[in-house]
Each structure stands twice: as C-alpha cells, then as structure tokens.
C-alpha cells in the first residue's frame, strides 16, 4: 500500500487535530446507529494519540469495547474529477468508518494502515461539509493478533457486569487513532502499487576479518571502506489503472540516473532499470534513490535503497559484510501520547540510538508507524519488522495451539496481517528481515502446521528478505525453526529464573546458545535480555532493581556473546521503560528500559555506549 504523497497531480489533506470523542459505555452504538447523526455531548480528543492517558476517568481509560471518533471535513472544488481516498495510518484495533452516515470501511488489526475510496459518495453528495465517524473497538480475542480474551466474573463478591480485557503480552493495550488520518486525491486513473526489487552486481566489500566474533571486530568491519558495486538492476512492478509510460530514477542530488519505458505484462506494468556504480544503502550510511513512475494521468515517487542481504550458517551479511545487530527491542510508547505517533519523540529516539552506538531495532511487537520506517531508511537503521503476533504462549502449561484458543480465524488474520505488513513495508531498505511472531508456544504440536503456513505465507509475499521468529521456547522443545533463516531468542537468566544470581548467566546462556546452533546451524540473535531497573536505585554490592545490577547483568551476557561466532546480535530489552497492564511484578510498567520513559539514560546506557562504540 502506497503512502499518500503530494505532487503536481496528487494532494493530501491532513485530518489530524481535535476530534469529537464518545465512549460507547454499553457498546450499543452500532445497533443504535450513532453514525447517522452527530455524536451527542462529545468530548474533545486528539488525533493521533491513544485516548487512555489523556482522560482522568478510570472507566474510560480501561473501557473494553467501542469508542467513537468524529470530525467534519471539506472537499475543495479543485478536487472535482479526482479520485478521493480516506486513509488511516492505524486504528487500534478494529474500526468501522462512516462518511455522512454511510459505511465506507471496516478494518481489523490495530497496527497497519487501511483506506476507503470515497469518490462516488462525495460525487453524489450535495453536502458542503462531510461528517466522518469512526467506531473503534479495542477488544482482543482469539480471532485476532495480538490475542487476548475478555474475562467476566460473576457472583456476590463481584460488582454487576464485572469484566476486563485480559492480554497475554506485556504492554498496555493502548487504544485510539494512533497514526495520522489523511484524505488524499489522485487522478481517476491512478497508480495503486509499486514493488521495487534491486539486485547488485560486482559487489566488492573490503572485509579484513573473515570470521568476526567480538563487537570490536564487527565495528572494525563497519568502519572500513564502504562496500561498492559495479551496477544495480532495479526491477519494478507497477499496479495501475492508468497507462504507465516512463520510469525514472533520481539520486539524492536529484540527478536522473536511469530511465526506461514501462511494459505491460498481464495485469501489471513492469520495468527494469540499470544504475551504473550505484551508491549502496549501508547501515549508518544510508543512501536513498527516488523512483518516479509517470503515467498518462498519475505520477508517484517512491524512495528506495540498494543493498544486498545474505544469511549463512554464522553470519548476517549486508552488502557482503558481516553485520552485528546492536540495538533494542522497542515499543511505541510514551507518557500522555501512549502509542500515538509523536514525531518529536521519534527524533529523540533516533538521536539516542545513534548516541549509544546502536545500528538496529526490532519493531517489537507490531509494525511501527510508516513515519518511523521512513526515518529508519533515512538514518540508516536496520530493522527487524515484526507482525503483531504476540501473546500466543502461556507459561503455566495451558495449551495455546491445541484447543479452542488459536483457531483457523486466528491463522487467517495472522496471514492477512503478514501480507499487509509486507505490502506496506516492502520498499523500505531499512527492513532486512521479517519476524512472524514473538514468543509463541512453538513446543506445541499444534504450532507446527500453524507456523509452517505462516512462514510459507510471508515467503510468498516477499522472496527477498530472510525470515525469523522470536523464541521463548528453548532449543530442545522448539519444533518450527527449521523454516526460518535466523534464530532470535529472548532469555532472562537470573531474572525470571534463578532471580538475582548473576553467576548462573554465563553457564546457562552459553549452553543454550550452543544448543540452538548445533540443532539448526543458523545464526542467533539475542533479541531480548534484561532486568527491571528503577532509575535512581543504587546498592553496593548490587541487588536486583538497582542500576548497578542492570549493568552487571548486561556484562554477564556480553562476555558470552563475545565468545560465540554464530551470535550475530544483541538487543537488550528494552530500549525505554514502558507502560504495561497492572501486575504484581509491574510497578507502573516495565522498567527494563536502558532509558527511562522520558528518554533520559540509566547507568546501563553508558555501559552499552562504551561497548557498542569500542575499537
């Protein structure tokens, strides 16, 4: 799905700002057809944002079910004869959209964009001002990802109607219109999609260390002369109702470096272009080309980068050089905004990532905003793009895949979300790998056919990127990693097991990592490891929850990573403290952040900075 852009034939109207808002206390709004008239006594609400932390009423913050958003918009006369589309960056989790009381879209899945073509409706309407209404539900059950269930309790010891949203993942179920809402216009004959794939020829990557193990060695490789290529082939598939004529490529200075005519092939157009001596997109040294497609009516320009990804039994190579993932599992999460897009926060985050010496992150546990992906392209961060398949494991022995929990509908939705993620993010050079799930119960028999299908789906959707999934199950129990390219493991030695005993980490970690590699002969990333740490807590000798403990905890892991040549990355959990549901081991959220929620460093940030920048 293309991002809405402006050019001489396309226009975008931003519908962000203050909307009307109403909680559907009894969840009867749809039956009562609230969309037919303006909402009664609405409150004011900011878009984009989560609504939860903007309100003061606990009933609204914790409401399970529908809330309603509403605003008006005007279509300028100059848009007459154009195709008009409403676009939501995300609506968490399930939305029904109405314009002037007419349903124009329905969407399930809270972290990916969707659109509604409203051309006909606008053309047939005599209204000057249109009313846009969104019924938005935050209910999670076993038919969607993330998974969850609504729990009700009855009896004299519970108030009437007592219920709550249960989730089996560790972040607060923020809800709302989290990303920009836009109305855009294109010509009636238009370009609907572009798939850009690049192939590099004559790659030369000066690589002094053939089998790097330590961070210092990886850094030495990364700081060497940038890899070059003799030429790049750029293949484009264009879906359009327009007649497509020409495809051009411009470099960062705006110079045209390639041009060709598009050819019609069955129901799409295609073009192949060649760039001589291309500048490659490298981690920390991004270079973005712009590909422009020109049709009889429509024009669309998409940025892309040229880079080559290869995975061996012990390495992840970008442009022929072994790459070591230094970075974090993160969350879209901040005070007040919740999961709402905050561009200022994103800039701060990327500046902190650069400061600490990170080169990558995982979009744990859902695709992040398109705006954030564009920033990663531009700043040269390497991204593991994760679908919102989280909460598919119980730790008490209950089965997730074997009974009435995960079911055919879950699988269908999971596959839909994978395809939608690829559709949205396929042209981003920052995305180097797809993650199909976080911590699913892959030791269960039922997980085997499930993930076989999941992985086949993503491979069919994109044959150019490796695939991973992130494990909590250990190497002996895991039944599905034969289908992935890279093993990602989350592990909390000395935290959730042998709590506080730092001296067990080295032994247990080394043993487990070697087992993973022996079993699958694939490179391994430590995709989570960490300890809750309250900023300002200190103790000598160190105890759990202090800043000293977090540093020593990291050190123990790092000693082992530096000994294993198949370990290709470390993503401490988590980048910053974040909000979770209430829980006995969550004091106002998860405190494993290397940064505080306000994006100021804990002591461990300095420790990592030193490690990740070492010569």
Nearer to ligand BDP, 298 or 528 (CB): 528
| Residue 245 near residue 237 (C-beta atoms within 8 A) | no
Question: From CA 564, how far away is CA 316, in angstroms rounded?
Answer: 14
**Backbone dihedral region of 176: left (phi > 0), alpha (psi from -120 to 50 degrees) or beta?**
left
Supply the minimum distance, in Å, between the C-beta of residue 205 and ligand BDP.
Answer: 34
User: Considering only residues 56-75, where is the footprint of ligand BDP by CB under 6 A?
Assistant: none
In the block, residue with structure tokens 């598919």: 392
Supply the minimum distance, in Å, between the C-beta of residue 581 and ligand BDP.
Answer: 11
Nearer to ligand BDP, 558 or 592 (CB): 592
Nearer to ligand BDP, 365 or 558 (CB): 365
Phi/psi of residue 68, each to 5°? -120, 135
Phi/psi of residue 571, each to 5°? -120, 90
Site string for ligand BDP, 251-280 (x = CB under 6 A): ------------------------------
Phi/psi of residue 160, each to 5°? -55, 135
Question: From CA 393, how far away is CA 317, in angstroms rounded?
Answer: 32
Other beta carbons less than 10 A from residue 588's beta carbon: 10
Nearer to ligand BDP, 282 or 442 (CB): 442
Supply the minimum distance, in Å, between the C-beta of residue 580 and ligand BDP.
Answer: 7
Supply the minimum distance, in Å, between the C-beta of residue 496 and ligand BDP.
Answer: 7
In the block, residue with structure tokens 């087992």: 515
Nearest to 574 by CA among 311, 250, 349: 349
Three-state SS for 258-301 is: EEEECEEECCEEEEEEEEECCCCCECCECCCEEEEEEECCCEEE
Supply the minimum distance, in Å, between the C-beta of residue 498 and ligand BDP.
Answer: 15
Supply the minimum distance, in Å, between the C-beta of residue 281 and ligand BDP.
Answer: 29
C-alpha distances (whole Å) from 146 to each of 155, 413, 439, 486, 564 are 30, 10, 12, 23, 34
| Residue 117 near residue 84 (C-beta atoms within 8 A) | yes
| Residue 367 near residue 388 (C-beta atoms within 8 A) | yes
Supply the minimum distance, in Å, between the C-beta of residue 266 and ligand BDP.
Answer: 43
Site string for ligand BDP, 470-489 (x = CB under 6 A): --x-----------------
Catalytic choice (70, 96, 528, 556): 528
Phi/psi of residue 421, each to 5°? -65, -45
Nearer to ligand BDP, 93 or 592 (CB): 592
Question: From CA 489, how far away is CA 466, in angstroms rounded?
Answer: 16
Nearer to ligand BDP, 234 or 436 (CB): 436
Question: From CA 1, how far away is CA 191, in angstroms rounded?
Answer: 11
Other beta carbons less than 10 A from residue 400's beta carbon: 21
The verdict on 198 binding ligand BDP (CB under 6 A) reads no
Contact residue for ligand BDP among 592, 602, 607, 611 (CB under 6 A): 592
Closest-approach residue to ligand BDP (CB): 170
| Residue 237 near residue 262 (C-beta atoms within 8 A) | no
439 is catalytic: yes
| Count of residues interacting with ligand BDP (CB under 6 A) | 11
Nearer to ligand BDP, 282 or 472 (CB): 472
The verdict on 573 binding ligand BDP (CB under 6 A) reads yes
Strand-by-strand arrangement of the 66-74 sheet:
43-47, 17-23, 66-74, 129-137, 94-99, 102-108
| Residue 237 near residue 2 (C-beta atoms within 8 A) | no
| Residue 362 near residue 528 (C-beta atoms within 8 A) | no
CB-count burial class (<10 Å; 0-12, 13-18, 19+) for 535: middle
Nearer to ligand BDP, 212 or 338 (CB): 338
Supply the minimum distance, in Å, between the C-beta of residue 190 and ligand BDP.
Answer: 40
Nearer to ligand BDP, 231 or 586 (CB): 586
Contact residue for ligand BDP among 198, 297, 457, 590 (CB under 6 A): 590
Nearer to ligand BDP, 169 or 325 (CB): 169
Contact residue for ligand BDP among 490, 533, 550, 579 (CB under 6 A): 490
User: Considering only residues 340-399, where is the footprint of ligand BDP by CB under 6 A?
Assistant: 365
Supply the minimum distance, in Å, between the C-beta of residue 439 and ligand BDP.
Answer: 5
User: Considering only residues 144-173, where is the footprint of ligand BDP by CB under 6 A?
Assistant: 169-170
User: Considering only residues 420-479, where is the footprint of ligand BDP by CB under 6 A?
Assistant: 438-439, 472
Supply the minimum distance, in Å, between the C-beta of residue 169 and ligand BDP.
Answer: 6
| Residue 566 near residue 311 (C-beta atoms within 8 A) | no
Supply the minimum distance, in Å, between the C-beta of residue 578 and ligand BDP.
Answer: 8
Catalytic choice (302, 439, 444, 556): 439
379 is catalytic: no
Nearer to ligand BDP, 138 or 472 (CB): 472
Q: Which two tokens stand for residue 110?
A: 């809270």
Supply the minimum distance, in Å, between the C-beta of residue 537 and ligand BDP.
Answer: 17
SS3 56: coil
> What's the gap between Cα 306 and its chain centre?
21
Nearer to ligand BDP, 302 or 528 (CB): 528
CB-count burial class (<10 Å; 0-12, 13-18, 19+) for 586: middle
Bridge-based pairing of strands 82-88 and 181-187 is antiparallel
Nearest to 483 by CA among 470, 468, 494: 468
Contact residue for ligand BDP among 302, 332, 512, 528 (CB under 6 A): 528
The verdict on 330 binding ligand BDP (CB under 6 A) reads no
Active site residues: 439, 528
Residues making contact with ligand BDP (CB under 6 A): 169-170, 365, 438-439, 472, 490, 528, 573, 590, 592
């Amino acid at each position: 799905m293309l991002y809405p852009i402006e050019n001489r034939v396309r226009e975008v109207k931003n519908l962000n700002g203050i909307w009307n808002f109403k909680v559907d206390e009894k969840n009867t709004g749809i039956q009562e057809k609230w969309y037919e008239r303006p909402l009664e006594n609405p409150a004011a609400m900011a878009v984009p944002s989560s609504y939860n932390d903007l309100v003061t009423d606990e009933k609204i913050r914790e409401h399970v079910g529908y809330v309603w958003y509403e605003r008006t918009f005007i279509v300028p006369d100059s848009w007459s004869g154009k195709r008009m589309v409403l676009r939501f960056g995300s609506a968490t989790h399930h939305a029904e959209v109405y314009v002037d009381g007419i349903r124009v879209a329905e969407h399930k899945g809270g972290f990916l964009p969707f659109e509604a073509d409203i051309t006909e409706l606008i053309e047939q309407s005599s209204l000057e001002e249109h009313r846009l209404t969104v019924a938005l539900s935050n209910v999670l059950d076993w038919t969607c990802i993330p998974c969850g269930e609504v729990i009700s309790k009855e009896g004299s010891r519970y108030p009437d109607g007592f219920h709550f949203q249960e989730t089996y993942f560790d972040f607060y179920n923020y809800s709302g219109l989290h990303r920009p809402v836009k109305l855009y216009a294109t010509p009636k004959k238009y370009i609907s999609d572009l798939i850009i794939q690049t192939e590099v020829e004559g790659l030369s990557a000066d690589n002094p260390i053939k089998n790097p193990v330590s961070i210092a060695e990886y850094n030495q490789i990364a700081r060497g002369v940038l890899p070059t290529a003799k030429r790049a082939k750029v293949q484009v598939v264009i879906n359009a109702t327009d007649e497509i004529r020409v495809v051009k490529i411009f470099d960062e200075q705006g110079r045209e470096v390639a041009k060709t005519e598009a050819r019609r092939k069955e129901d799409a157009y295609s073009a192949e272009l060649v760039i001589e001596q291309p500048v490659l997109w490298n981690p920390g040294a991004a270079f973005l080309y712009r590909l422009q497609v020109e049709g009889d009516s429509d024009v669309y320009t998409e940025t892309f980068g040229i880079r080559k990804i290869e995975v061996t039994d012990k390495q992840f190579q970008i442009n022929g050089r072994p790459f070591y993932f230094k970075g974090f599992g993160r969350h879209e999460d901040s005070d007040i905004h919740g999961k709402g897009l905050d561009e200022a926060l994103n800039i701060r985050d990327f500046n902190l990532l650069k400061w600490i010496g990170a080169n990558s992150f995982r979009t744990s546990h859902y695709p992040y905003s398109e705006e954030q992906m564009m920033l990663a392209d531009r700043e040269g961060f390497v991204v593991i793009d994760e679908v919102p398949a989280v909460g598919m494991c119980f730790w008490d022995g209950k089965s997730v895949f074997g009974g009435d929990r995960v079911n055919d509908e879950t699988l269908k939705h999971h596959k839909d979300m994978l395809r939608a993620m690829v559709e949205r993010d396929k042209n981003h050079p920052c995305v180097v790998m797809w993650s199909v799930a976080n911590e699913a119960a892959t030791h269960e028999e039922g997980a085997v056919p499930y993930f076989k299908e999941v992985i086949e789906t993503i491979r069919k959707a994109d044959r150019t990127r490796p695939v991973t999934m992130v494990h909590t199950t250990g190497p002996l129990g895991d039944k599905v990693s034969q289908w992935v390219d890279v093993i990602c493991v989350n592990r909390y030695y000395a935290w959730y097991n042998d709590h506080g005993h730092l001296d067990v980490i080295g032994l247990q970690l080394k043993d487990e990592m070697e087992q993973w590699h022996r079993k699958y002969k694939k490179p391994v990333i430590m995709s989570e490891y960490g300890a809750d740490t309250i900023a300002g807590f200190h103790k000598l000798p160190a105890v759990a929850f202090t800043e000293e403990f977090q540093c020593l905890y990291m050190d123990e892991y790092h000693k082992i990573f530096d000994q294993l040549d198949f370990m290709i990355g470390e993503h401490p959990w988590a980048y910053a403290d974040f909000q979770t549901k209430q829980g006995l081991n969550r004091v106002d959220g998860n405190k494993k952040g290397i940064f505080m929620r306000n994006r100021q460093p804990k002591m461990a940030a300095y420790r990592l900075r030193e490690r990740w920048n070492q010569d």
